[in-house]
Each structure stands twice: as structure tokens, then as C-alpha cells.
């Protein structure tokens, strides 16, 4: 089966680089599976899991938004932070989740902090979800 070079890049360096058979992402406009020879495309992503199907196994990476850029010869996912399934610190994510929940309970709806806390919560939950995926 044909493969395509895929990289996940964050400000702290590359998180993933390799040839994959398929990339599944959750874009703002809906779920999307990208196979080799897809047409060039740019789409923003949700805080979600990215599934990378390689020859040996399926890999999951938790991304906090960002976007995917599909080219003829490569796919790049750019995001502020990304963690591979095996790198996720579950204890830390649990803590972050609790903190975010506590802040949400304090803050009134509609304030900019409320949105930020909600995003933090989403990110923590996303990490936990990805960590538990099989």
C-alpha cells in the first residue's frame, strides 16, 4: 500500500515524522481521512486525536487545535502542542482537568477566562481520552 510522509510539528520540535498509509483528523468542518494522493488542502483542527495508520500499527497523537496541511508529497500538522499516546502523562492530565473544572465552577460564563478554562478542560480530557485509546 502506498504511503505518504507525515510530520507533526510543534514549537517545541517534531513530535512525529514517518510514512503513513492514512491520517484521520477531526477538522473544524468534520472528520476527515486523508490518503496518499489527496488534493492539496488546508483545514483547522479541533482539540482532538489524530490517528496515524502505519504499516506496523495505528498510532494516536493528541493535538490541541492547529491545522493540517496536505500537499501532493507530504502532510504536515502544525499545532501548539501534541503528544503521542505513550508520552501522555496521565497523572498530569488528571490534575489539569481538576484544576480546569475548579476554575470553571468559579468563573462566570461569558468572560474570556471562562473560555480559556473551557479550552484547558477540553485539552486535558482529550489527553486522557487519547491515553485510554487502544
Nearer to other proteins, 35 or 43 (CB): 43
- Work out which of 13, 56, 57, 134 binds other proteins, going by CB under 8 A: 13
Grid cell, residue 19, equals 510514512
- Work out which of 32, 104, 107, 128 binds other proteins, going by CB under 8 A: 32
Q: Considering CB under 8 A, how many residues would be counted as binding other proteins?
A: 28
Pattern 83-122, binding to other proteins, x per CB under 8 A?
A: -----------------------------x---x------
CA distances (Å), 105 to each of 26, 49, 50, 115, 121, in order?
28, 26, 30, 12, 12
Stretch of 36-44, 53-61, 87-95, 103-111 contacting other proteins, by CB under 8 A: 36-44
Encode the chain in three state secondary structure: CCCEEEEEEECCEEEEEEEECEEEEEECCEEEEECCCCCCEEEEECEEEEEEECCCCEEEEEEECCEEEECCCEEEEECCCEEEHHHCCHHHHHHHHHHHHHHHHHCCCCCHHHHHHHHHHHHHHHHHHHHHCC
- Work out which of 31, 44, 94, 95 binds other proteins, going by CB under 8 A: 44
Pattern 60-79, binding to other proteins, x per CB under 8 A?
A: -----xxx-x-xx---x-x-
Residues contributing to the site for other proteins (CB under 8 A) = 9-14, 27-29, 32, 39-44, 65-67, 69, 71-72, 76, 78, 80-81, 112, 116
Amino acid at each position: 500500500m502506498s504511503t505518504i510522509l507525515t510530520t507533526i510539528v510543534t514549537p517545541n520540535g517534531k513530535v512525529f515524522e514517518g510514512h503513513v498509509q492514512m491520517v484521520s483528523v477531526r477538522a473544524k468542518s468534520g472528520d476527515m481521512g486523508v490518503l496518499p494522493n489527496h488534493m492539496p488542502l488546508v483545514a483547522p483542527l479541533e482539540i482532538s486525536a489524530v490517528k496515524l495508520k502505519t504499516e506496523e500499527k495505528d498510532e494516536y497523537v493528541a493535538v490541541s487545535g492547529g491545522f493540517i496541511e496536505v500537499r501532493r508529497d507530504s502532510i504536515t500538522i502544525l499545532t501548539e502542542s501534541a503528544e503521542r499516546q505513550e508520552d501522555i502523562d496521565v497523572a498530569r492530565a488528571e490534575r489539569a482537568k481538576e484544576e480546569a473544572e475548579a476554575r470553571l465552577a468559579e468563573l462566570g460564563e461569558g468572560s474570556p477566562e471562562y473560555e480559556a478554562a473551557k479550552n484547558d478542560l477540553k485539552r486535558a480530557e482529550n489527553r486522557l481520552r487519547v491515553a485510554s485509546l487502544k
